[in-house]
Structures are given as structure tokens and as C-alpha cells.
Amino acid sequence: MSQRFLIVSALTLILIASQIFWVQQVRNWATSLIPSSTWRRRVGIAGLVGYLLLVSYNFLPLWLGFVFDRTLIVGGARSAGPSHLTLRAILFLAHFWGRIGRTRSPEPTHLTLRAALIQAPFWSWIVCSLLGFLIAVVFGLADRISRAARWLYRRVAEASRAVPLPNPVSLARRRFLERTALAVTTAPFVAGAYGMFYERLNLEISHRRIKIPRLPRAFEGFRIAQLSDIHIGPFMTTEEIGRYVSIANGLKAELVALTGDFVTWDPSTQSAVVEVLAGVKAPFGVYGCLGNHEMWAAVEDSITRLFARRGIRILRGERAAIRSGGEVINLLGVDYQSRSPMGPRGQRLVREYLQGVDRLMAPDTANILLSHNPNTFDRAAEYGIDLSLAGHTHGGQVTLEFVHPDLSPSRLITPYVRGWFAKPGGQLYVNRGIGTIFVPIRFGAPPEITLFELARS
């Protein structure tokens, strides 16, 4: 049984537990809000049917497709005997249902009613209800421990005094705890609404001066704008990307770097994102590298050709000499590199990051690397690449890094979640990107366009 299957199964069980928890919560609220038991039942049945339809529409096909496609079909298809007939039938239906889920229609590049009224609320509900449930579990455990400690204290105190102590648990305290628990468990929903309607759209322009001692004199003050993780889709429409293109052009950078993840899942969106990004202009050119979503959508070759037709050069294990005043800096770019399989078509691994990149380096000038995955930084610094520009993490996308640096899901895949890093041999900047994946929510990680100014000292 694969590790991935175990993780997906564990997450599914936690998700089911969270949904049972919230159904129970809603039932409790309905009991206090709807006095008539007949109406309560009717509303409950209607709500449950609607909920199951939403689950079936949004979630089940993807889950079945993922689990059955990747784990059981391989073994099940080779199995023989009557005991496997039922399994084969289930596999066939699941595979068919999964395909329907994935190929219902092309991913839209404009906001649709289906995305706004069905997909976004549902996936936001899944994320927020899961977080609320986990908070409730922690809160419940803390409450149990506190009650056990109080009980133990009373027993010890009673034993030493030989007279019973009055029960300190008051009704007011219990109500206070219940209200606090309710406020805490519903907090993710409030945060989710904030993240969807405000923070996701609240672009930050980050300015950063990067010191590169061997920068040629002609490039003193040279400005590079970085955009990353566009993720075109119903919540990153062509109009929205056009707005970011205008903002990037307004920064008047000498060169623009696009660090991957142009599409989200659907290959058919590649032309739309290229067309709108073709509006990015810079006197020294627009360059880019590819992200994991280009690999997953299998558009690496085609999107590179589309970009090339619009004057944008995607560097795929290549370099470009940027010349000014008779001097040059060396721009390098690599495809998404990973040492662990991640997502569809994620089997394409590298044993060692940035293999062969040393041959692309220029020894006597500044080397700047475009690499979607920030994990290549350690190797880049070993090579002596002066500056790496990366994306990929979305700055955590939904994160509590402002509470504690470890409270970010991206920490599971990289120590380089956002911002500037330095170590002997090189520097790294991880851009938070402008798009989102899975849920159109950003919390604690607003979208970002970065403007770098290169300096010799």
C-alpha cells in the first residue's frame, strides 16, 4: 500500500469526521432556531440532499478518480476470478465517474456562475470546516485536560482536609466555554470570507534592493520585475491578469521575469494566459521558466512555443545574455525540478537539482536563475549563482506565519516559503505569486509583484 494512498485515506477520514461534526453542530443550531420538529425534519432533509448533491458534483469524482486511477486499477485490472468481478465493476464506474468529473468542460478563464455559486463556496466550505473541526478538537482536548486537572486537584484537596469542597463548575462558566468554542470554531469561516473577498485581491508591490558584488557597472540600478504563479482560471480571469500586466508595466522595470505556473489544470487555457501576458513589456525583454502546473497539464512544449510567438522567451535549461553598455549579465532558466513525486505526471524526478546548470553559467559576471521551485536554492548557492528567483509556494496561500513561522502548509515542502534568503554563494527571492489553487482564498499571504533593483554594493 503506497504512502500516498495512506495519506489520502487519512485525510479522507479526517474530512468525513469534520463533516459529521458540522452536521451535528448545524442540527444543534436548528433545534434552537426551529421549534417545530416537522419543519426541522423537512429543512434537515432538504439541506442534506443539497449537501450530498454538492459533494457528488464537486468532490466525489476527483477523489474517486485519484484513488482508483492511481492505486486500485493497476492491481485490479490484472486480477482474475469471480471475487474480483465486483471490484472491477466498482473500478469501472469510479473510473468513468472520475473522468466525468475531470472532463466536464474546459476550465473557464472568466468568472462563471458555476464557479461562483457552486465550486468556490463548496471548496471554501471544505477547507474552513476542516480547519474549524481541527480547532474544535484542540479546544475540546484542552477543555478535557483542564477538567481532569481540576477534578484531580479537588480529590487531593478533599483528601487532605477530610471535608468535601464545593463544586467550582458553574453554569456561567460552562456557557462561556461553549460560546468561546463556537467563536473559535467558526473563525475559519470569517477568515475564509476575508481571504476570498479582500486579501486575495490585495496586491502588494514589494521593492527589494539586491547586492551582487560582481554585478557589471552598467547594470547598477538595473530593475527586474517578477510575476509568478498566475494560475489562470475562473478566479484569475484574463481581465484580472490584464490588471496585473498593467501594474507590472507601470513599474517601468528594465526586464520582467515570469517564474512559472501560468495555467492551473487545463491545457486549453494556455493560449488565453499567453495572450494576456504578451502585454508585458520591458526594454531588455520578458523571460520566464515553467512551473509544476505546466508539467501536470502537459503544456511545457506548447506554451513555450506560444510564448515565443509573442516575444517572450521561456528558458528551459538555457541561458540568455542580457547586454548593456558593452557589459553582460547571465540569465538562466530551468523547468520545474523535484526530488519527490507530486501530482499527476509528477514522476519526472531529478536525482540532483540543477544538474548541468554549471555549464550554463558565466564565470565573470552576475548569474541570475529563474527556477519555479525554491528548493533548488541550496544547489544554486553551491554553484555560486548570485540570485535565484522562485515562486511555487504562494507564500503559503493560507497561512498563520504571522503567528508563528512554522504555521504554514508550504513548510511541508520547503524551508523557503516566501521572501529573501541568503547563504554563502547566493541569494534567493521567493515571490508569493498572484494566483491561487484549490480554493480562491489567500490568508496571511497576499498576492505580490516584486521589483528588484540590482546594486554592486
Site string for Fe ion, 70-99 (x = CB under 5 A): ------------------------------
Supply the minimum distance, in Å, between the C-beta of residue 135 and Fe ion. Answer: 27
Supply the minimum distance, in Å, between the C-beta of residue 435 and Fe ion. Answer: 7
Describe the strand order of the beta sheet including 312-314 as a list of residue ranges. Answer: 204-211, 448-455, 223-227, 255-259, 286-289, 312-314
Which DSSP symbol is given to 167? P
Alpha carbon distance 431, 449 (integer Å): 7
The residue assigned the cell 511541508 is 412
Residue number with CB closer to Fe ion (240 or 261):
261
Size of the site for Fe ion (CB under 5 A): 2
The answer to the question of residue 261 lying near Fe ion (CB under 5 A) is: yes
Which DSSP symbol is given to 398? B
Residue number with CB closer to Fe ion (199 or 382):
199
Alpha carbon distance 286, 255 (integer Å): 6
Residue number with CB closer to Fe ion (262 or 353):
262
Alpha carbon distance 306, 271 (integer Å): 7
Residue 60's Cβ-count burial label (10 Å; 0-12, 13-18, 19+) is: middle
Supply the minimum distance, in Å, between the C-beta of residue 427 and Fe ion. Answer: 22
The answer to the question of residue 294 lying near Fe ion (CB under 5 A) is: no
Alpha carbon distance 147, 134 (integer Å): 20
Residue number with CB closer to Fe ion (367 or 397):
397
Applying CB under 5 A, the span of 12-20, 184-192, 261-269, 278-286 interacting with Fe ion comes to: 261-269
Supply the minimum distance, in Å, between the C-beta of residue 261 and Fe ion. Answer: 4
By the 8 A CB rule, do 61 and 96 touch?
Answer: no
Residue number with CB closer to Fe ion (215 or 230):
230
Supply the minimum distance, in Å, between the C-beta of residue 258 and Fe ion. Answer: 12
Residue number with CB closer to Fe ion (210 or 232):
232
Query: What is the end-to-end Cα distance of the chain in Å, rounded?
Result: 55
Concatenating the DSSP letter of every residue in 365-382 gives S-EEEEESSGGGHHHHHH
Supply the minimum distance, in Å, between the C-beta of residue 211 and Fe ion. Answer: 28
Residues 172-231 that bind Fe ion (CB under 5 A): 229
Supply the minimum distance, in Å, between the C-beta of residue 397 and Fe ion. Answer: 9
Applying CB under 5 A, the span of 91-99, 238-246, 257-265, 306-314 interacting with Fe ion comes to: 257-265
Question: Which positions lie near Fe ion, rule CB under 5 A?
Answer: 229, 261
